Structure 1
Amino acid sequence: MVFSTTSLFAQNGTLTGKILSEQGEGISFASIVLENNSQGFQADENGNFTANSLKAGKISLSVSSIGFIKQRVNTEILDGQSTALEIILRAAASSLDEVVVTGTMKEVSRLETPVPVEIYTPQFFKRNPTPNIFEALQNVNGVRPQLNCNVCNTGDIHINGLEGPYTMILLDGMPIVSGLSTVYGLSGIPNSLIERVEVVKGPASSLYGSEAVGGLINIITKSPLKADKFSVDVMATNWQELNVDLGFTQAIGSKIQTLTGINYYNYQNPIDNNGDNFTDVTLQQRVSLFHKWNVKHSGDKYFNIAARYFYENRWGGEMDWTSTFRGGTEKYGESIYTKRWEVLGKYELPTKEKLALTFSYNNHDQDSYYGDLPYFAKQNIGFVQMTWDKSLKKHDLLSGIAARHTFYDDNTPATASPENIDITKPENSLLPGIFVQDEITLDEKQKVLLGYRFDYHQKHGGIHTPRVAYKYNLNKLNIVRLNVGTGFRVVNLFTEDHAALTGARKVDILSELKPEKSINANLNYMGKFFTRNSGFIGVDFTAFYTHFNNRIVPDYITDPQRIIYDNLDGYAVSKGISANLDFNFANGLKILTGATLMDNTIVENGVTERPLLTEHFSGTWSASYTIPTINLTVDYTGNLYGPMDLPVLGAKDPRSDTSPWWSIQNIQFTYSPKSSSLEVYGGIKNLLNFTPAANSIARSFDPFDKQVTFNDAGDVVATANNPYALTFDPSYVYAPNQGIRGFFGVRWALD
């Protein structure tokens, strides 16, 4: 279809031409706009266009199409003559072309790194807006936010079916979200601070040390140099949830730029749709204050430093619980007060060499009650690292030294003194390490990365973690990568025993837990294909295999009253395949879909078992379409999970020991006028209104087990009042209890 501009211009010349991709194919229905009056026309299905009766003189054209970089073209219209143009548009930068840092600890194009890294931008997360990064990760393929308690709604992040302790969470490349803060820390990171999220699946211990066994998630905050001068995002739901994000930047002189971010979240509306007399969703009030400085101190060298304060008051429990019942046995509630502050920074030394000092420190203070069980804990983590980056011909070298100190103290037997259980013996652990990697360019198509790290733990001695990576370019946009590496994890007491705090299960650690060790191999293919109608398809396919020794396994089954921890006398395997497909069509439709098929097993004494809360299949999708005539974008997002084994309370428990297939789906409509940075959005979350069974909390009517009969051995005795021999237990959880709800929000930014 061709739109003529005859009625818009008085005379005299004609403009013809064709819009082509870099592959020489016509770009269907590309848009051509005359910049002097914003009037324009459209190419036909083959990319050809004609405009008659254009006024003679110099003109500027703005040429654009979905999936391509907008281009400005200058030309001249002559009286009574025809001017012909051939305009070539370059493909828009996709996730293939973006800069990443996580895989090799240095900035490099995603096309060039030998380590496969997935990138997720704020635009991706806006398709399903959430108040924090924990919930936002639900639409990332192979990554699942797992709730671990029906009452307090704590959770962790699973990657490829591996539990939260196997996932390392970094903030600007520093491991400050770990241990005590893994359970609550992610819910306190607002999406408004995020520039991008980088995900590496598979061990990364050769660069990042302990905890990076199953993979890592690096949350990179915005730079004051790139952020909007002012931004605001306010969202509310019909459940009476309110989330407010504010951000602004300020220049101080010519060398200092600052960024301030404020997040406030409030939910104070108890709802009990499943009729168990417990809140379906934890009530929360939290505030996060963030401030970041970017200081140019010597030539092109920078000093970046950021500070954040986070406070949260959350509770869940019986519907008529109030803070006056906190810590008592009259009404059951789980109440958690969290105070946290952190400082992190990077200083580029004023030398010719690329030397950088990174550091962080955080203080996490938790005051909580789980029913009448008090839990008071403090954790401080200090981290410092010096890196040296050097290029020598075909070698790109990176080396560094790092140290992480962890202080942890609580009021449980986990830190009690062996001589006197009333006296705590805080954990003070120092984990120093050195690492080196060499990225070798063999030729134009091949790269090899060799890496090695040595860490020393005061209890476990030296720990070695080598890795090797190989990259082969089939062509510019099609790449094959093979990675083989090792990982290790030192047990963290809080991470291991947190599930016991709810439901009164006791923790039993059978022996001194040894560090877990793993070896992983993954084969990755990443490519991009152009379609005939000038769209493109991105493909990211991975096959992975991880073998564990000394796997730390929680046993919920042997004794319903306990969680028993011990190193596995055997081995564990996690294997599977994962694929992401990114469709970008010329008509404006964008679809990102992914699926992961995996098999996680534990082998001990010749018996093979499947870990609890581990699905065989997971899938995600995100479809977006913009209707340009009314400036409206429609986003349809969702996920799908296969069955997983659940922690039931013995053979008599009437609850199913396997979850059903389940899916959370959402739809959003966003109106964004072209002449403004305003966005008005709204939609429906959990369209299918999926929630777990109403009996997810065992014996919710007797949360303090006052009506439970125990024998002399401490086992539950079946009675007329308790025919299934159950105790109160809210740990039977695999999906959120929050059903369908509407949401509405407004965003506005000043560039």
Structure 2
Amino acid sequence: MKNLILAFCLLISNVIMAQSEIKGTVVSDGRPLQMANVILRKSNKATVTNEKGSYTLKNILPGNYEVIVSYTGFKTEKIAITVADSTELIVDFELKETHSLDEVVVTGTLKPVSRLESAVPVEVYKTSFFKKNPTANVFDAMQNVNGVRPQLNCNICNTGDIHINGLEGPYTLVLIDGMPIVSGLSTVYGLSGIPNSLLERIEIVKGPASSLYGSEAVGGLINIITKNPNNAPLFSADSFVTDWGEWNLDLGFKGNVGKTASVLTGVNYFNYSNPIDNNHDNFTDVTLQDRVSAFQKWNFNRKSNKLLSLAGRYFYEDRWGGELQWNKSYRGGDEVYGESIYTKRWELLGAYDLPTVEKMRFSFSYTDHDQNSVYGDMPFLAQQRIGFGQLTWDKKINKNDLLFGTALRYQYYDDNTTATIEEDINWIPSLFVQDEIAFNDTHKILLGARYDYNRNHGNIFTPRFAYKWKINDNNILRFNTGTGFRIVNLFTEEHAALTGSRDVIVLEELKPERSYNANLNYLKKIYTGNGNFIGLETTAWYTRFSNSIIPDYDTNPNQIIYKNLDGHAVTKGVSANVDMIFYNGLKLILGATYMDVTKTEDEVTTQQILTEKFSGTWAISYRISDLFLDVDYTGNVYGPMRLPRLGDLDPRSEFSPTWSVQNIQFTFNKFKNIEIYAGVKNLLNWTPNKGNPFIIARANDPFDKNVQFDGNGNVQATADNPYALTFDPGYVYGPNQGIRSFFGLRYTLR
């Protein structure tokens, strides 16, 4: 018996002595990566790296293994090893950031799929891209995305919309987590105040997507993806100030409610209360704002691991612009001109995977937008409510990857203008189907169709076709074609509609706008022998619109005339994006777009107002590892665009010059969990008033008290008004804010 015990002890001792240890570090560009996941495949061993990027795996038995390291935003690396008796192995990892070509996207097909495998071209922009030029809202952040331009529509209130490939804001659908909660009236406000701490990435589809998303996805769509609470840091804070007096704060918190759910909360606060008038017209150059937004997202833990997510956001903003001596005591009066906007928004969205064997998901959203605004002495009071519910069934049958869906959209709109005679209530039921057929690893096609019913326009059918040819792993060709539609609501926030004296004239039964689109996309990846990477993506597109509805304020100054365009509109062009990552720490993201956007009526073709022929964007980054310093140089350039003048006597330029806004930022990241950044925005100090005698027409007489009209309502040229103008702040094509410095601090606790 003693011999057996002795033999057993010797055996145990030999096993213990035979066990080994694996150590190493995980870095990126020389910087340690904390909380990277380290897994030893073929064992039950796993750990995470510490603040120095180090890890240790103990008590490893002899054998063959594979060490796998993963980290969000970086390419997963694997190393095969052989462990002998009682050894200590050093296995280090150098992770490289994943470029957007390898991202998983959901926007193009409503299914998670690798961007390289998607038959629909989807552009992906991660938070690291937007950190290169920090902004206080998503609207401004779009300025460095190729082919996408935030367009200001008013010099005073600074409201605007998003242009994609030259198409105006109403043609762009904005989603949050796939739900269409930003629409029409509320686009600029819905894009403001989304806390950057909650932003995971932004996916952009250019071209009609109505077969999946319905009305408004005619020119393209922007899908803002928020973080999954399970993957978010415990706490994050990001704040910056500018020498103009702007202050922005983003906070993010993550917590667990027992084993029931994980919760992510984000808060954004922005304040600018320093009136500046650098062009000396007695009007604020930039709208003053006081804004707060709170967002919370819950992910519930289910035994089946199926999704149950619920999120909500509250947004409030008080913004005003106008004459420098304006204060709230003048709101709505005709003594001192000011444009004051109070906005309140509630948003709710969620997703629930049904407890069925089949993959079925119910998604929903609801928004309530209340706006109380005055433009001088003209009030604009509006309410918009949008409810949306959608049920999808994801089914694979052999080579067919099918998606069936049904949706119901509720729309409510009412305002006090003459453009809205009575409140507009509409229910739009929809059915859609999609079939993605993979013939082999090389060829794939996607067929789709959607049916919508609108009580004003009847039955609407939108088909879709896409083809992807994977020539090889580094060359992909895509062809997409389809139709889109947009149901136009007769409301507007234009100043001309707020006079109260105009009659609304609808000359015919309005038909929904329709579009027919085709685009060809080519993507190429180039890997060089020294570890450099180049990604090239180019797209050519052609879109033709019929039944365009444009409110006519010019034919009769006493009327707003609505009718379908007696002709057609066309947007066509080509764009290219280049991503370059070099082993020495240099990264370049370059974009260029050339387009031709025209409208043809009565055989006369004109260039669309506020649409540039060409544009370019860039983001050049370089990391100086020895100094723990990142340098980011970003910017854009836009070609001439036709501008909205008031008549032949208007001395302001008919076309804008070629103009550019450029920025530089320095980020210091030596300290644990902390980034310190500073830089200069608008390095060239460009503003649209350069080369023009004035930007705001009749800024000295904003209530038109000294403007004279003839019997037909036409403005007369007088000694006091030699150019026959009325007050007009709509001559705007770019931001009116000059050069400014900024300083910021980020803190992240994982």
Q: TM-score, normalised by structure 2?
A: 0.88
Q: How far apart, CA to CA, are the structure 2 residues paired with 1:296 and 1:739?
A: 49
- 1:69-125 CA-partner distances (Å, limit 9, x unpaired): 5666868999xxxx9999998975321111100000111110111000000000000
Structure 1 residues 374 and 460, CA gap change in structure 2 (3 angstroms): same
1:180 aligns with 2:176: no
1:232 aligns with 2:231: no
Q: How far apart, CA to CA, are the structure 1 residues paired with 2:367 and 2:269?
A: 21
Question: What does residue 540 of structure 2 align with?
Answer: 543
Question: What does residue 44 of structure 2 align with?
Answer: none
Check whether the contact 1:142–1:159 (CA below 8 A) recurs between aligned residues. Answer: yes
Question: What does residue 717 of structure 1 align with?
Answer: 716
Partner residue of 2:673 out of 663, 673, 677: 677
Question: What does residue 707 of structure 1 align with?
Answer: 706
1:738 aligns with 2:737: yes
Structure 1 residues 719 and 36, CA gap change in structure 2 (3 angstroms): closer
Instruction: Report deviation, 1:190.
Output: 3.0
Amino acid at match of 2:216: E
Q: How far apart, CA to CA, are the structure 2 residues paired with 1:380 and 1:32?
A: 48
Question: What does residue 306 of structure 1 align with?
Answer: 311
Check whether the contact 1:407–1:427 (CA below 8 A) recurs between aligned residues. Answer: yes
Structure 1 residues 564 and 739, CA gap change in structure 2 (3 angstroms): farther
Instruction: Report deviation, 1:513.
Output: 2.9
Question: Superposition pairs for residues 69-88 of structure 1, below 5 Å?
Answer: none
Check whether the contact 1:358–1:386 (CA below 8 A) recurs between aligned residues. Answer: yes
More displaced stretch, 561-570 vs 431-440: 561-570
Q: How far apart, CA to CA, are the structure 2 residues paired with 1:254 and 1:462?
A: 47
Question: What does residue 500 of structure 1 align with?
Answer: 496
More displaced stretch, 690-699 vs 628-637: 690-699
Q: How far apart, CA to CA, are the structure 1 residues paired with 2:295 and 2:50?
A: 43
1:145 aligns with 2:145: no
Instruction: Report deviation, 1:689.
Output: 0.3
Partner residue of 2:581 out of 584, 589, 592: 584
Question: What does residue 510 of structure 2 align with?
Answer: 513
Structure 1 residues 502 and 141, CA gap change in structure 2 (3 angstroms): farther
Amino acid at match of 1:152: C
Structure 1 residues 71 and 237, CA gap change in structure 2 (3 angstroms): farther
> What's the C-alpha RMSD, in Å, of the aligned pairs?
3.1
Check whether the contact 2:542–2:572 (CA below 8 A) recurs between aligned residues. Answer: yes
- 1:282-321 CA-partner distances (Å, limit 9, x unpaired): 0000100111110123411121000110000000000110
SS at the partner of 2:379? Answer: strand
Question: What does residue 140 of structure 2 align with?
Answer: 135
Structure 1 residues 504 and 189, CA gap change in structure 2 (3 angstroms): farther
Q: How far apart, CA to CA, are the structure 1 residues paired with 2:343 and 2:153?
A: 18
SS at the partner of 1:650? Answer: coil
Q: How far apart, CA to CA, are the structure 1 residues paired with 2:191 and 2:685?
A: 25
Structure 1 residues 131 and 408, CA gap change in structure 2 (3 angstroms): same
Check whether the contact 1:98–1:109 (CA below 8 A) recurs between aligned residues. Answer: yes
Structure 1 residues 546 and 714, CA gap change in structure 2 (3 angstroms): same
Q: How far apart, CA to CA, are the structure 1 residues paired with 2:732 and 2:292?
A: 27
Instruction: Report deviation, 1:514.
Output: 1.8
Q: How far apart, CA to CA, are the structure 2 residues paired with 1:68 and 1:666?
A: 29
Q: Give the ranges of 4+ consecutive aligned residues of structure 1 lying more than 4 Å apart after TM superposition.
A: 29-33, 35-40, 60-64, 66-78, 83-92, 501-510, 554-565
Question: What does residue 523 of structure 1 align with?
Answer: 520
SS at the partner of 2:514? Answer: strand
1:257 aligns with 2:262: yes
Q: How far apart, CA to CA, are the structure 2 residues paired with 1:504 and 1:130?
A: 37
Instruction: Report deviation, 1:606.
Output: 1.2
Question: Superposition pairs for residues 472-511 of structure 1, below 5 Å?
Answer: 472-494=469-491, 496-498=492-494, 500=496, 509-511=505-507
1:395 aligns with 2:400: yes
Structure 1 residues 413 and 686, CA gap change in structure 2 (3 angstroms): same
Question: Superposition pairs for residues 10-29 of structure 1, below 5 Å?
Answer: none
Q: How far apart, CA to CA, are the structure 1 residues paired with 2:207 and 2:594?
A: 15
Question: What does residue 435 of structure 1 align with?
Answer: 432
Partner residue of 1:692 out of 677, 688, 702: 688
Question: Superposition pairs for residues 187-206 of structure 1, below 5 Å?
Answer: 187-206=192-211
Structure with larger RCO (C-alpha < 8 A, sep 6+): 1
Structure 1 residues 31 and 224, CA gap change in structure 2 (3 angstroms): closer
Structure 1 residues 38 and 275, CA gap change in structure 2 (3 angstroms): closer
Check whether the contact 2:218–2:485 (CA below 8 A) recurs between aligned residues. Answer: yes
Question: Superposition pairs for residues 1-40 of structure 1, below 5 Å?
Answer: none
Question: What does residue 570 of structure 1 align with?
Answer: 567
Query: Identity of counterpart residues, as a percentage?
Result: 60
Check whether the contact 2:165–2:595 (CA below 8 A) recurs between aligned residues. Answer: yes
Q: How far apart, CA to CA, are the structure 2 residues paired with 1:111 and 1:624?
A: 25
1:661 aligns with 2:658: yes
Q: How far apart, CA to CA, are the structure 2 residues paired with 1:534 and 1:105?
A: 34
Amino acid at match of 2:444: K
Check whether the contact 1:143–1:160 (CA below 8 A) recurs between aligned residues. Answer: yes
Amino acid at match of 1:450: L
Structure 1 residues 345 and 699, CA gap change in structure 2 (3 angstroms): same
More displaced stretch, 710-719 vs 615-624: 710-719
- 1:252-272 CA-partner distances (Å, limit 9, x unpaired): 112300000011000000000
- 1:551-606 CA-partner distances (Å, limit 9, x unpaired): 12355665688765432101111000000000111111000000000001111111
Instruction: Report deviation, 1:187.
Output: 1.9
Instruction: Report deviation, 1:677.
Output: 1.6
More displaced stretch, 175-184 vs 216-225: 175-184
SS at the partner of 1:311? Answer: strand
Q: How far apart, CA to CA, are the structure 1 residues paired with 2:52 and 2:447?
A: 54
Q: How far apart, CA to CA, are the structure 1 residues paired with 2:748 and 2:69?
A: 26
Question: What does residue 213 of structure 1 align with?
Answer: 218
Partner residue of 1:628 out of 625, 633, 655: 625
Question: What does residue 601 of structure 2 align with?
Answer: 604
Partner residue of 2:168 out of 146, 163, 166: 163
More displaced stretch, 690-699 vs 85-94: 85-94
Check whether the contact 1:635–1:668 (CA below 8 A) recurs between aligned residues. Answer: yes
Amino acid at match of 2:331: R
Structure 1 residues 505 and 217, CA gap change in structure 2 (3 angstroms): farther
Which runs of 5 or more residues in structure 1 are unaligned? 1-28, 41-59, 417-424
Amino acid at match of 1:130: T
Structure 1 residues 744 and 607, CA gap change in structure 2 (3 angstroms): same
Matched residue count: 694
Q: How far apart, CA to CA, are the structure 2 residues paired with 1:354 and 1:293?
A: 21
Structure 1 residues 161 and 506, CA gap change in structure 2 (3 angstroms): farther
Partner residue of 1:95 out of 96, 100, 110: 100
SS at the partner of 1:415? Answer: coil
Structure 1 residues 468 and 348, CA gap change in structure 2 (3 angstroms): same
SS at the partner of 2:184? Answer: coil
1:267 aligns with 2:272: yes
1:283 aligns with 2:288: yes
Structure 1 residues 281 and 91, CA gap change in structure 2 (3 angstroms): closer
Structure 1 residues 97 and 289, CA gap change in structure 2 (3 angstroms): same
Question: What does residue 356 of structure 1 align with?
Answer: 361
Amino acid at match of 2:415: D
Instruction: Report deviation, 1:392.
Output: 0.8
- 1:315-338 CA-partner distances (Å, limit 9, x unpaired): 000011000000000000000000
Amino acid at match of 1:439: E
SS at the partner of 2:307? Answer: strand
Instruction: Report deviation, 1:186.
Output: 1.4
Question: What does residue 375 of structure 2 align with?
Answer: 370
Structure 1 residues 651 and 260, CA gap change in structure 2 (3 angstroms): same
Amino acid at match of 1:567: N
Instruction: Report deviation, 1:184.
Output: 2.2
More displaced stretch, 270-279 vs 554-563: 554-563
Q: How far apart, CA to CA, are the structure 2 residues paired with 1:407 and 1:395?
A: 38
SS at the partner of 2:646? Answer: coil
Partner residue of 1:651 out of 648, 661, 671: 648
